[in-house]
Homo-oligomer: A and B are copies of this chain.
Amino acid sequence: MNYFRSNITAMTGYVPGEQPQGTKLVKLNTNENPYDCAPKVKAAIGHAVQAGLQKYPDPTATAFRQQAGELLGVDPDWILCGNGSDDILTIITRALVDSGDVIRYPNPSYVLYKTLAEIQGAECDVVEFQPDWSLGEAFTAPRERLKLAYLANPNSPSGTVISPDDVARIADQLPCPLLVDEAYADFSETNCLGLVAKNEKVMVSRSLSKSYALAGLRFGFLIAQPQLIEQFAKVKDSYNCDAMAIAGATAAIGDQQWFQQTRSSIIATRGRLEAELTRLGFECVPSQANFVWCNHPDHPAESLYQQLKEGGVLVRYMSYPNWNDGLRVTVGTDQQIDAFLTILTGLLA
């Protein structure tokens, strides 16, 4: 058992949010979309399956890249598809970061960044967010062997956004490439897609898990300049996206009407959730994502999480070093949020 790299045996491993199978819990813990995906997605997957799955899929998911290129106004050569945006993060990390190198990211943010660094045998340079959820000079400071910075934008768990202008400045000052993880950007008023063409060091990743209700399908993609895409393509598994996922993802981004409708519903419900939480005495960070990060001055977050779960509602309890713990509540349907608020009101009484 001493076969393993020492960084692997030493690490604890990423623990994803609870995924109870086949329960009746109202699930507001992993930022899934509460709505069913577009009917066109199901039809496209059905056609792919009926055509047969015995052949290997298109290694570069050309159909998706063409459709996404039209939608986003970029050339398909600027797009790399992944088996979820976690696959994209993995590919970038493996391509840029050697063991002993340094990766920078903010705290509190997506916990997977630490795991990716640990797997690679890299050192983590963790920069604390300022109290107003901006990033200070420590995030752009030079450092030896610094090879990559991750920035979730909107950030999780806060749901806050750093403006494209500020991200542009950060990227200019950083001595290494910057991965802007836009898993939640479809729920935000701004995004950093426009920065990619202006600065080779800016890379943007997207996910279909949240805004297209396709967490179970696993599809994400990267937008970066083509000379970078070409190198990243060497690192991905040849057939990292399956035939059903390619068909479904292509149909998903092709149905912008479905997308706009559900997006509007989620943003409206988010406003209602924030207002109700505030009314109940919670401190809420205004969110640009499909979740709300909150804390109650009189009720510890961990026991609220536990009591909510006993009441049939699963939210995410999160605790970060050097930061208050709290609850991250996914924006569900209005009915789900009503159920959550009813139980919560009872708990606070």
Query: Which A positions have Cβ atoms within 8 angstroms of B?
Result: 1, 3-5, 8-9, 11-14, 16-17, 19, 21, 27, 30, 32-37, 41-42, 45-46, 48-50, 52-59, 62, 83-84, 86-87, 90, 94-99, 112, 115, 119, 121, 147, 176-177, 200-201, 209, 213-218, 227-228, 231, 233-235, 237-245, 248
Contacts and interface: CB of A to CB of B under 8 A. Distances in A.
Contact of A54 (B36, B90, B115, B235): B36
A231 B48 CA distance: 35
Nearest to A9: B231
Contacts of A241: 218
- Interface of A (DSSP majority class): loop
A119 to B, nearest CB: 6
Contact of A59 (B16, B201, B244): B16
B98 A5 contact: yes
**7 nearest A-B residue pairs (beta carbon):** A216-B243, A13-B234, A53-B216, A54-B213, A218-B242, A16-B238, A56-B215
Nearest to A43: B49
B16 A239 contact: yes
A45 B49 contact: yes
Given A4-B96, A53-B215, A84-B239, 15 more contacts: A1-B227, A3-B96, A5-B95, A14-B238, A16-B56, A32-B56, A33-B54, A45-B45, A45-B244, A53-B216, A83-B242, A90-B237, A99-B99, A115-B234, A244-B244
Contacts of A45: 45, 49, 244
Contacts of A17: 56
Contacts of A55: 19, 27, 32, 215-216
